[in-house]
Amino acid sequence: MTQLRGGAAGSHRRGHRPPALRGQRPGQTGRMALSTDHRADDGQAGAAGLAAPPDPRDPRGLRADAPLLDAWLRFSAQAQSGELTPMSVPGHKQRQDLTGAVVAADAPLYGGLDTIKHADVLLAEAERRAARLWGADWCRFSVAGSTHGNQALALAVGSPGQQVIVTRCLHRSLLLGLVLAGLEPVWVLPERDPGSGLPAAVAVGTVRAALAAHPGACAVFLGDPSYVGTTGDLAGHARAAHEAGVPLVVDAAWAAHLGFHPGLPPHAIAAGADAMVTSAHKALPAFTQGALVLARTGLLDPARLDRAFEATHTTSPAGPIVASIDAARALLARDGAELCARLLRLVAAARQRLAQVPGLGVLDGPGVEPTKLVVLLPGTGAHGNAVEADLIAAGMPVEMADRDTIVPIITLADDEAAVARFTGTLVATIERHRGAPRPPVPSPAWTVTPQVVLPPREAFFAPNETVAADAAVGRVSAELVAPYPPGVPVLAPGEIITAEALAALRTAHAEGGRIAYAADPGLATLQVIAPAP
Ligand SMILES: Cc1ncc(COP(=O)(O)O)c(C=O)c1O
């Protein structure tokens, strides 16, 4: 499936007037009159058709199809030429003699990329183009990652006290979304890859059974692909959810490139999901924090989606972030198939190279997203944290490493030379750390079997106390504790703290893993629900 187009794209929100992207508007005068005219000349090659050399700031000429990018390019050219005397935020006023170059690319969406009164229209036009590309009815650009997108979607689907069917391999952001929205999870567990112990997809039958047992559930939330790139039958899940009359919502944080090449699985919206969140900054060449929230509006109300989105989004979105999402969308629309073809080739070559290393495994097969490389170390005896340390020293930080697994992220921005350098260095460091083969021990994030006592929201707000970790076993957790990455909660508010979970967290900590969100990251103490007075 390539470049999915069509669908009833359009903005349903805020009574937007149709985007007026050309010409100066009344009241736009003076130095801050930032025209949204695509053809406006800022001294660089602008829209397509001008016989000028390519703008080094926009080497692929994306601005002609990317209104926010175009506006950012124009604003930054004005700022650099000293034309602006802004009497508005941000407080650095485009000067680099105070905090320095760290603010160099910054520009506010409101009052930078366009006037405070008009930037909404520019943003809506960019979001409309993204909705069309993904075949959605509704799209918003977030500057707060899939974290914010997950929470917005949790706030959009139901009312406090309603149940939702949710994978227990969820990212911690969605669990906090359930706290915010007061939704009560009905947990479903993924299948397990027998060789590695890593999570596979949630089976459709599991979700059907949960829906049948909980007819009041208002939505199904799945993560697909999973953190380790395993994918499931999203079309089957969509059918199951729709037969129950509820929306399927997919956290596709790692999958903004899916659906743009026949060798890749379709993206969640194309597979029939009602909503998806994806991090433009993960799989696409976009600024850190940039994310898209996309939805079909049959089972979801666009006004409610907007309210939910705005509830926890900043009122001051960073211009470079939204402009880079717009640019990444324009890039995917035009060059996505070609770039994804290269990505598929690169990862296939890396898999082939790594498969030659004795004892080394790579997660593979029909249920694995083909551009995700998950390296399995147990057969080599090498410890993932030692391998990671060498890779960091070589200037090649990876996304995740634990004892048995290394997860590098390879994207559209990588080329043959970079991937060959990485695989060569990885193989050499594995050889340096080679030891006796061992059986895999899956991260505690993948083995949680929750014993729920209280809904997450109730537990989050309940009186709590801090106790020695050993004394916390058998008590109800007040806090969310997650080894990060992958950020899947091992302890969640309202769930029993088991001896196994505590032991696994201690092992992860002792091996150098980061134990995130715990009040005591050293795990000497834990916070538990206080007994009733
Ligand atoms: C599955 C999943 N969902 C959501 C997120 C949050 O994404 P972001 O960092 O864009 O907020 C992550 C982050 O790693 C993730 O792995």
From ligand 1's centre to the CA of 159, what distance in Å?
24
Report which ligand 1 atom has the smallest distance to the Cα of 486. Answer: 16
From ligand 1's centre to the CA of 171, what distance in Å?
6
Q: Which of 173, 224, 407, 488 most suits a substitution to test ligand 1, by most atoms within 8 Å of the C-beta?
A: 173
Q: Could you give the C-alpha distances from 248 to 32, 37, 207, 510, in angstroms and in order? A: 44, 39, 11, 39
pLDDT at 364: 94
**SS3 assignment, position 44:** coil
pLDDT at 415: 98
Average pLDDT over residues 50-72: 91
Confidence of residue 10 (pLDDT cuts 50, 70, 90): very low
- Listed in sequence order, the residues at least 6 apart from 359 whose beta carbon sits closer than 8 Å to its beta carbon are 378, 379, 380, 381, 434, 437
pLDDT at 329: 98
Please indicate whether residue 448, judged by its CB atom, sits closer than 6 Å to ligand 1: no
Please indicate whether residue 251, judged by its CB atom, sits closer than 6 Å to ligand 1: yes
Chain-wide mean pLDDT for the chain? Answer: 91
Q: Which of 146, 321, 372, 443 most suits a substitution to test ligand 1, by most atoms within 8 Å of the C-beta?
A: 146
- Listed in sequence order, the residues at least 6 apart from 474 whose beta carbon sits closer than 8 Å to its beta carbon are 496, 497
Confidence of residue 110 (pLDDT cuts 50, 70, 90): very high
Q: Which tokens is 159 given? A: 């009312």
pLDDT digits (tens, 9 = 90+) for 408-466: 999 999 999 999 999 999 999 999 999 999 999 888 889 888 999 999 999 999 999 99
From ligand 1's centre to the CA of 291, what distance in Å?
10
Q: What is the DSSP letter of 526?
A: E
Question: Which residue owns the Cα nearest ligand 1 atom 7?
Answer: 146
**17 has a pLDDT exceeding 50:** no
What are the backbone angles phi and psi of residue 420, rounded to the nearest 5°? -65, -40
From ligand 1's centre to the CA of 78, what distance in Å?
35
- Whose tokens are 């059907």? That residue is 208
- The C-alpha atoms of residue 142 and residue 282 are separated, in whole angstroms, by 13
Least confident of 2-16, 58-72, 91-105, 301-315: 2-16
Please indicate whether residue 171, judged by its CB atom, sits closer than 6 Å to ligand 1: yes
pLDDT at 181: 98
**41 has a pLDDT exceeding 90:** no
Least confident of 50-64, 314-328, 479-493: 50-64
- The C-alpha atoms of residue 11 and residue 251 are separated, in whole angstroms, by 22
Please indicate whether residue 224, judged by its CB atom, sits closer than 6 Å to ligand 1: no
- Cβ(241)–Cβ(187) under 8 Å? no
Average pLDDT over residues 324-336: 98
**SS3 assignment, position 228:** coil
Nearest to 127 by CA among 13, 251, 6, 268: 13
Q: Where would I find the H helices in 158-255?
A: 172-181, 204-213, 234-243
Least confident of 51-55, 103-107, 362-366: 51-55
Q: Which tokens is 249 given? A: 């919502």
CA 244 from centroid of its chain's CA atoms: 27
Please indicate whether residue 279, judged by its CB atom, sits closer than 6 Å to ligand 1: yes
- Cβ(406)–Cβ(400) under 8 Å? yes
**399 has a pLDDT exceeding 80:** yes
Report which ligand 1 atom has the smallest distance to the Cα of 485. Answer: 14
Q: Which helix (H) or strand (E) holds 420?
A: helix 416-432
Confidence of residue 50 (pLDDT cuts 50, 70, 90): low
Please indicate whether residue 147, judged by its CB atom, sits closer than 6 Å to ligand 1: yes
pLDDT digits (tens, 9 = 90+) for 226-271: 999 999 999 999 999 999 999 999 999 999 999 999 999 999 999 9
Average pLDDT over residues 334-359: 98
pLDDT digits (tens, 9 = 90+) for 112-170: 999 999 999 999 999 999 999 999 999 999 999 999 999 999 999 999 999 999 999 99
From ligand 1's centre to the CA of 146, what distance in Å?
5
| Crossing angle of helices 416-432 and 384-393, rounded to 10° | 130
Confidence of residue 51 (pLDDT cuts 50, 70, 90): low
pLDDT at 483: 92
- Cβ(288)–Cβ(320) under 8 Å? no
Please indicate whether residue 145, judged by its CB atom, sits closer than 6 Å to ligand 1: yes
pTM above 0.85, yes or no: yes
Please indicate whether residue 223, judged by its CB atom, sits closer than 6 Å to ligand 1: yes
Query: Exposed/middle/buried for 359, CB within 10 Å: 0-12, 13-18, 19+?
Result: middle
Q: Which tokens is 13 given? A: 């929100």
- The C-alpha atoms of residue 230 and residue 391 are separated, in whole angstroms, by 25
